[in-house]
Structure 1
Amino acid sequence: MNPSETGHHRLPTSVEPTHYDLTVCTDLVYAKFDGIVKIDLYVRDKTSDIVFNTKDMQLGSVTVYSDALRTEQHPKSMSFDTDRERGTLSLPTSLPAGSKAQVSISFEGPLTGALMGYYRSVGGADGKEVYSLTQFEPTAARRAFPCWDEPALKATFAVTMISRADTVNLSNMSVESESTYEPGSLDATGAVVWLTKLASPAISGTAAGDKWKITRFQTTPPMSTYLVAYANGRFEHVETTYTTNFALDVKRRVLPIYEKVFNIEYPLPKLDTLVASDYNSGQIGQATECSGLITGRVTAFCLDPRSENLQVKKQIAVTMCHEVAHMWFGDITTMEWWDNLYLNEGRVLLLRIFPEWKMNASFISDSLFRAFSLDAKLSSHPVEVECPDDNMVHGIFDALSYSKAASVLRMLSAYVGEERFLKGVSIYLKRHLFANSTTKDLWDGISDATGLDVSKMMDCWIKQVGFPVVTVTETTNGIHIRQDRFLETGPADELDSQTTWSIPLRLLTVSDKGEVIVDKEILLEQREMIIPLDISKPFKLNAGTVGFYRVLYSTERLITIGAEAAKAASPFSVEDRTGLVYDALALAKAGFLTVSSALSLFEVLREEREYSVLQGILSNLESIRSTWWEHPDISLVSPIVQQLGWDNRKSDSDDDRALRILAIQHAASAEDTSVIRELKARFSRFMETGDDSIIPPDLVGVIYMNAVRCGGRKEWEAVKRIVQKPKNPAYGTSAMIAMGHTSHLELAEETFQCILNESRDQDLIFYLDGLSTNRKTRRFLATAFMRHYDEFAKRLEGNFSMRYLIFRVFQSLSSRRDHQEIANFFKEKDTSKYNMALKQTLDNIAAQAAWVERSTDDLLRWA
């Protein structure tokens, strides 16, 4: 949407900011901040009203200077629209069109614990060190200073911070100068003079002995307000010059790779990472990509070298690579409005520094099928989705903006070739350096690099809701294929069945000489087509599982492909096999296949040793167990997994470590008695001796969880003590989840009381995750949450975290009764901040209930 086409949810375009001089005084002792911002404006249209964004701040003196009028004037009135989070200055004299002006506004506000805007956190070795930081994405800069808080309204920022002398100030740019504050001193902006009069008592000189300093930062390139960042506290730091930790090393290694791939140098003088004790960027992300200053959770960046956990290590690498890539996608080139959020978030991960992790295969389970899960719901939305208000903006930070967008771009890259795809991306970025872009701009860049009409092919994937299932019917001379919308509740209705996509089919065949051939040119653009093919030889659509669609074969063909995939010299790659496994159960859940057909495929692949394929099989078996949690007569045995022992060896590959974790986790979930016995014994020895060396870091989560599930109060309290004083952040998170896995409802109630009275807001999700995945407590959790709903709503009213809690609390339920009770409960609630998440949650319950009704008899016959 062009800013000139502004609607009621967009700011008027009569004036636009070009530069901010922002001075902020932070008082950690009194938990407040004061400031003054001077904003240079370009007056596009004659106006006597200046409309900007502001929320939860007290504004003080306001002046407006006009270059054309050569006068300074004070507003005759200042009004506020709290619903739209706006302030309006009405001037006595209109500003002429085409002129320049400057508005100066003083402001003050509290440093709250809301995890949005400019807020306070507590950390340090003793857990009592107070510091402050910002979290502005997507619409919270207005909570920290008056501004034009829309991504298209880019400007430069010169940030000055005033703070106690023994603290460190950070911002997007490098420090230009730093000096001790002297009472009565002047600076070019007059900000310090203003602050000595209106800021905290300490800086005014009333607190004897307090010393303050002024830190000025270099001016930024043009950027959006949500990317502005600053922080104040007694921070410790490490630098790549002398010492590194894992996250910092990943950043050091990946930066030059992105510079080469995008053919654009990193534009800023530094790139810091601030690790925060209290941080919440939502369900998907663990960090935020502010230009020059990435901020994120402790668990997003901190790896304990003494207790290195492979899963944590991978997550840190993925998070850091994602945020560094944002320095180009999102920061240099920013989507024009939030409906194009995917242009920031939907990048194909370029994690090329750890080839041993086989990230292409991991992408299928971690991103592709997560997107499928959400996009298969009736409550899904297009990747490019209209955002009429701030509540909607917050709601689209989901698996569609991230994972579906990344998946369809990965599909496009495979279709046109990675080299040409990246050349097109580079063209796109260079055309919009420090500017804004839309979907068309990206397609134009890739079209120029490939000579293809990319828009014609890709708009259906970005602008339409849902994705297709391609049905394969074998004929005498080949295969007949048909596309329809895939829904988790079963075949689409007539309206949905009219939707079509441009589908790269990627047909894999095997020649008479045994050579694997992939035809990348076939594009299914109509409803149906026939492909001549020798079906006596192995074949498969969606080679490499790079397409964003599912493929439905007959049960016989599915098992045939599985048998071929199980051979040592199979033509089907790890990615092919992983896709087969996930497709099979999803198709069974939706009623296109029987569950027994999917289980038959898993049986054929029982000797599989590739991590991503085995993860797919075991996680799908766990999905069945979880859905039929109220059916004790359903018993599934996990496939036999090669035992690699309990402890890591120096000779182990990362695959060995990953398989060991996977085997033990799922054996415990399937209640394998020998595995449970060993898990219990290790935790018991830890409780007796205090020596945790017998608990491998990779198995901390499953050992804690099993100890609480199979134990009583003694084990629960031992895990709670770990929460209170963890060895490292990963251990703390594992312990929070484990506290919810008790088999005793009185301990579940005590866990819930910890949620209400002890948990940090950012950690609520971990406790809830434990209770919701525990089959013995998930209904207790749903009831307790509804009973205490008002407390949660009040506690989280300053941010949008409720939408993540709603899904976690109710996601595991699977009956019509649960669906009705939850729908009835929320009828009288204000759901505006989480309406989309609630619809998705209810759809999830309904789909699981339908699956149970449809497939229980089939599953009982198999079991």
Structure 2
Amino acid sequence: MHASKARIWASCAEVARTTRCRSQPSIRHAVSRRLSTQSSDGPLRAWAAHSGRSLVTRIYNPIPQHRLSFYPIRHYCSHLQDLIMATPTKTENPDQYRLSTDVKPLHYDVVIKTDLEALTFSGFVKTSFDVVRDTSTITLNSAQLNLGKVTVYSDALKSEQIPTGQDFDTVQERATFNLSTALPAGSKGEIKIAFSGELTGSMVGYYKSSWEDEGKTRNYALTQFEPTAARRAFPCWDEPLLKATFGITMVSRAETTNLSNMPAISEEVIEVNTNVSEEIRELASGSEGKWKVTKFENTPPMSTYIVAVANGEFKFLETSVKMPLSGKTIPLRIYTTPEVIHQAQFALDVKAAALPLYEKIFNVEYPLPKLDTLVAHDFDAGAMENWGLITGRTSVFLLDPERADQASKKRVATVQSHEVAHMWFGNITTMEWWNYLYLNEDKIFPEWRVDSEFISDHLNRALALDAKLSSHPVEVDCPDANHINQIFDALSYSKAASVLRMLSNYVGEERFLKGVSLYLKKKLFANSKTHDLWEGIGSATGLDIPDLMENWITKIGFPVLTVTEEANGIRVRQDRFLESGPAEPKDNETIWNIPLFILSAQAGGEYSVDKTAILQQRDQVYPIDTSKNYKLNANTVGVYRVLYTPERLVKIAEEAGKKDSIFGVNDRVGLVHDYLALSKAGLAKLSSALTVVDKLRNDTEFLVWDGIGENLGGLISIWWEHPEIVDQLNAFRRSLFTPIVDRLGYEFNESDSRDVKLLRKLAITQAAGAKESKVIDELKSRFAHLVQTGDDSKIPSDIMSVTFSIGVKYGGVEEYEAALRAHDKPKTPMQKIAAMTALGNTQDPELLKRTFDSISTKARDQDIMYYFAGLAGNFKSRRLLTSYFRDHYQELYKRFEANFSMQYLVKYSMDFLSTKEDLETTEAFFKDKDTSKYIQSLNQTLDTIRAKSAYIERSTEDLREWLKEWENRK
């Protein structure tokens, strides 16, 4: 959504989200052959038959070559990643967790009644299907539903039959209906199933959300089906490969609003003479009040996980855009509850800017007649790309137009544009199975340097996770639906996006974009595998992309490049990088094809980047002039870390610290992240990494300082139980950030650039965290004004979070109560988050107890992470948090077993532990627990504890000596 290469890379993170689990080549090719024998035009025919819409999508010439076309590469590399994440990987029986393909759904007619007073829903679904093979059973997905009458019609038999029996598999969430008369292959049929269920606060399936309206709790209902929860709303074939068309009809109380993927074609209150079917009339009977029926247009062929419905008393803002390819005018709306609708304008504006831009870049028409967004108060994920009806939580879509901070603007803009890109990646073209999760984010804000931010936001985040033995490939085995939630992590998104960003830099953005366009055009309304994307890029580049990229996607981990100097150049060796130390031979077998991007001096003295150099074996020599400075991974676009000799590192660091350095901001950010990670792995001394940081103290770039702040904060968090080292590190941190506070001050002016605002916020936050007394006093004073008057005008939005936390940390009951009032009646979503985090920052044992009690009594399910994060950031409450998790394990597990949250609670509760005793205690605690729904997060947490323990043992003395030497120098 921004105008540079950078933004294209946030999109690549999204494509990375659709292609994530995959098989080994032999399995993959076998699956591909099997799938290629199945007809793919059934859903297209069904859509035409049911809606009469033209199936022709106009495809235009290759992507324009002017600079604007480069915006989405990063944005849809984030979406291309969605593609690179989903087909079954190697299992003993790849199909044992997949539904039978004896029948294939074509079209669903879903009728669903929502009763917001009784908090129930009910209805029936009629699904037409092709019979692929003779069968006397029909198996589909169903979970947490009460199923009623079932009938099956066959056009070949010209008759209807009631199943003779039903079998339910609660583990695989399947219902099987046994038929007395088999359905013959080649025929068509229809199954009709009545169902009912409860609207709970589970945040999965069809569930309830609530808000406070003049002291009264009001409810509304919405869906969250990704990855496998459509089956909780109506019986269906709930796998992404099994696309069909959908006709949705909603029955609801007359005063409410009904929403779905498509526009409503009719809506009327059910009266005595209203022309509705007896089935619908019967659904509405037996309940007091007026009821209405809303019928929506049929959808294009789509997967069940992007079907959406919602019902409630919503308000909306609206606009429209004219699309560049079709010339159509597309209406856009954003819905939410009445009290916060005024905070939705920015997200609507972003959507209006992004939708036509994506159509132009992808050269594929947006296929739906509208695009809505629904903002929910209770939402498990951040947001969801339901086709035509994006949904998401308040904190990612709402902001105060008068006092929005930079972080809020970035979050809203990124999430909204990310979900819009999904309308193409993921929705038009969908992964065959969740192994390809990662294939599914300028011009609007040209001042946002998204490519540089990508390094910290995505690349470093992915490498930190992939450096663990418990990591997984981008395409990871997804044997069953219960495992799918666990693969929505930094590797599914950020590593996949990073790999695509690297590939685009290697082949050139113009050819990369052309290849992506070819891929999209070939897979319209179809399902895809990673190989399909590689094929498109290969066609555009003439390169063997599958061979080049195979190990980046199918193998675990990433390389560290060790650079040594020889007479005629440099020798580069690749080995797997692990945070715990050098890899053992059994963990170091992969050879990656690595673009080196070597920046070096040429004959005339000018510096340039060699993008042709590639390492395809264990080590190789490359001729360059080592008498002058050089650097691998120029612009930090490669998915690897680089280790230089200590002598060369000193030269690189000195050059990086110069005002007119040959190393750009991306290089300097990458250098900071690399050397702190290399020191953690024992490949470089921690003192060397701190020397690099010290030499960058005169840097003026926010992004460089952001990397420095993140890594110094990380060191303090690792040595948190060594107070003397913490104090010394904080002194070093104060020496870096306090001068910036002195220079920039505390006031945020409209005339300030975005980078200045971000650097000011960072410096204040870091200096306060490092216990700089004058900064703490200033923030306490501003918070005191809020405590005394209720007026928060002295707290700029950009430093609201740190001000609240400092106010509560250094305050008492009065300050705690002020944060609690902001929590209970926040002016914006960001203020509530600031309050929740601050409540965990108190140093008072009694107030900490109140915060822990609030987790059970006050915290909404979607917000529990903020409580845990606040408590995890407070050294006085860390071990209390671990104990709380263990003591309340059963309660937490039951509360969150159905959604994404449990895996994060494991991480927040124990990720900070750092001793061998902690490791043993943690392993013992989980020994008798069913960890299947969060095993990946648990293993990563255990690896983190091991690595921190080893880091402390290995580097404490080196750290002490460097800090002592620095203290003597300053």
Any residues of structure 2 matched to 1:769-780 within 5 Å, and which? Answer: 769-780=869-880
Pairwise CA distance, 1:194:
2.2
2: distance between equivalents of 1:417 and 1:158?
A: 43
Are 2:601 and 2:625, in contact at CA under 8 Å, matched by a contact in 1?
no
Q: Which amino acid aligns with 2:250?
A: M
Aligned counterpart in structure 1 of residue 445 of structure 2, from 354, 378, 384 = 354
Task: Specify the alignment match of 1:77 in structure 2.
Answer: 165
Matched, 1:597 2:597: no
Task: Specify the alignment match of 1:680 in structure 2.
Answer: 780
Aligned counterpart in structure 2 of residue 219 of structure 1, from 282, 290, 298 = 298
Aligned counterpart in structure 2 of residue 369 of structure 1, from 456, 460, 465 = 460
Helix, strand or coil for the counterpart of 1:339? coil
Helix, strand or coil for the counterpart of 1:608? coil
Task: Specify the alignment match of 1:147 in structure 2.
Answer: 236
Task: Specify the alignment match of 1:31 in structure 2.
Answer: 119
Task: Specify the alignment match of 1:549 in structure 2.
Answer: 640
Give % identity.
Answer: 54
Pairwise CA distance, 1:556:
2.1
Pairwise CA distance, 1:713:
1.7
Are 1:183 and 1:205, in contact at CA under 8 Å, matched by a contact in 2?
no
Matched, 1:253 2:353: yes
Helix, strand or coil for the counterpart of 1:482? strand
Render the CA deviation track for 1:616-638: whole Å, top value 9, x for unaligned.
Answer: 11111111111000011111212
Pairwise CA distance, 1:195:
4.1
Q: Which amino acid aligns with 1:46?
A: D
Task: Specify the alignment match of 1:194 in structure 2.
Answer: 279
Task: Specify the alignment match of 1:816 in structure 2.
Answer: 916
Pairwise CA distance, 1:260:
1.4
Render the CA deviation track for 1:39-69: whole Å, top value 9, x for unaligned.
Answer: 0100000001000000010111111110111
Render the CA deviation track for 1:157-208: whole Å, top value 9, x for unaligned.
Answer: 0100010110000000011111111247554xx4xx22443x4xxx31552x
Are 1:582 and 1:616, in contact at CA under 8 Å, matched by a contact in 2?
yes
Helix, strand or coil for the counterpart of 1:539? coil
Greater shift, 473-482 or 329-338, is seen at 473-482
Task: Specify the alignment match of 2:423 in structure 1.
Answer: 327
Matched, 1:616 2:707: yes
Task: Specify the alignment match of 1:524 in structure 2.
Answer: 615
Pairwise CA distance, 1:800:
3.9
Matched, 1:467 2:558: yes
Alignment: residue pair count: 844
1: distance between equivalents of 2:803 and 2:950?
A: 34
Are 2:485 and 2:899, in contact at CA under 8 Å, matched by a contact in 1?
no
| TM-score of the pair, normalised by structure 1 | 0.96
Render the CA deviation track for 1:488-525: whole Å, top value 9, x for unaligned.
Answer: 00100011222110000000013354422010001101
Pairwise CA distance, 1:245:
1.2
Matched, 1:757 2:846: no
Pairwise CA distance, 1:793:
1.4
Q: Which amino acid aligns with 1:96?
A: P
Are 1:581 and 1:617, in contact at CA under 8 Å, matched by a contact in 2?
yes
Task: Specify the alignment match of 1:582 in structure 2.
Answer: 673
Task: Specify the alignment match of 1:397 in structure 2.
Answer: 488
Aligned-residue CA RMSD in angstroms? 1.4
User: Which 5+ residue runs of structure 1 have no aligned equivalent?
Assistant: none
Render the CA deviation track for 1:564-606: whole Å, top value 9, x for unaligned.
Answer: 1222221111111100000010000000011100000001101
Task: Specify the alignment match of 2:537 in structure 1.
Answer: 446
Are 1:274 and 1:293, in contact at CA under 8 Å, matched by a contact in 2?
yes
Helix, strand or coil for the counterpart of 1:692? coil
Are 1:800 and 1:833, in contact at CA under 8 Å, matched by a contact in 2?
no
Helix, strand or coil for the counterpart of 1:40? strand
Are 2:94 and 2:479, in contact at CA under 8 Å, matched by a contact in 1?
no
Matched, 1:695 2:776: no
1: distance between equivalents of 2:772 and 2:286?
A: 68
Task: Specify the alignment match of 2:409 in structure 1.
Answer: 313
Helix, strand or coil for the counterpart of 2:319? coil
Helix, strand or coil for the counterpart of 2:533? helix
Any residues of structure 2 matched to 1:102-117 within 5 Å, and which? Answer: 102-117=190-205
Q: Which amino acid aligns with 2:711?
A: N
Matched, 1:204 2:285: yes
**Shift in CA distance, 669/442, structure 1 to aligned 2, threshold 3 Å:** same
Any residues of structure 2 matched to 1:850-861 within 5 Å, and which? Answer: 850-861=950-961
Any residues of structure 2 matched to 1:16-165 within 5 Å, and which? Answer: 16-123=104-211, 125-126=213-214, 128-165=217-254
1: distance between equivalents of 2:287 and 2:302?
A: 38
Are 1:9 and 1:388, in contact at CA under 8 Å, matched by a contact in 2?
yes
Greater shift, 630-639 or 444-453, is seen at 630-639
Task: Specify the alignment match of 2:18 in structure 1.
Answer: none
Are 2:552 and 2:592, in contact at CA under 8 Å, matched by a contact in 1?
yes
1: distance between equivalents of 2:273 and 2:171?
A: 41
Matched, 1:426 2:517: yes
2: distance between equivalents of 1:6 and 1:67?
A: 32
Pairwise CA distance, 1:683:
0.7
Task: Specify the alignment match of 1:803 in structure 2.
Answer: 903
Are 2:380 and 2:900, in contact at CA under 8 Å, matched by a contact in 1?
no
2: distance between equivalents of 1:683 and 1:510?
A: 53
Pairwise CA distance, 1:306:
2.0
Greater shift, 267-276 or 561-570, is seen at 561-570
Greater shift, 243-252 or 657-666, is seen at 243-252
Q: Which amino acid aligns with 2:220?
A: Y
Helix, strand or coil for the counterpart of 2:402? helix
Are 2:591 and 2:617, in contact at CA under 8 Å, matched by a contact in 1?
yes
Pairwise CA distance, 1:474:
1.2
Q: Which amino acid aligns with 2:356?
A: P
Task: Specify the alignment match of 1:658 in structure 2.
Answer: 758
Render the CA deviation track for 1:56-114: whole Å, top value 9, x for unaligned.
Answer: 10111111110111111111111111111000111111001011001111100000110
1: distance between equivalents of 2:868 and 2:538?
A: 46
Any residues of structure 2 matched to 1:170-185 within 5 Å, and which? Answer: 170-183=259-272, 185=274
2: distance between equivalents of 1:817 and 1:856?
A: 18
Pairwise CA distance, 1:124:
5.4
1: distance between equivalents of 2:897 and 2:412?
A: 30
Q: Which amino acid aligns with 1:204?
A: S
Render the CA deviation track for 1:324-354: whole Å, top value 9, x for unaligned.
Answer: 111111000000000010111xxxx3x5422
Helix, strand or coil for the counterpart of 2:936? helix
Are 1:565 and 1:571, in contact at CA under 8 Å, matched by a contact in 2?
yes
Helix, strand or coil for the counterpart of 1:63? strand
Pairwise CA distance, 1:6:
5.8
1: distance between equivalents of 2:200 and 2:949?
A: 42
Are 1:6 and 1:13, in contact at CA under 8 Å, matched by a contact in 2?
no
Render the CA deviation track for 1:110-156: whole Å, top value 9, x for unaligned.
Answer: 00110000000102544622100000000000000000000000000
Greater shift, 642-651 or 136-145, is seen at 642-651
Matched, 1:436 2:517: no
Pairwise CA distance, 1:443:
0.4
Matched, 1:735 2:816: no
**Shift in CA distance, 590/6, structure 1 to aligned 2, threshold 3 Å:** closer
Are 1:510 and 1:571, in contact at CA under 8 Å, matched by a contact in 2?
no
Are 1:559 and 1:604, in contact at CA under 8 Å, matched by a contact in 2?
no
Are 1:31 and 1:111, in contact at CA under 8 Å, matched by a contact in 2?
yes
Pairwise CA distance, 1:211:
0.8
| TM-score of the pair, normalised by structure 2 | 0.86
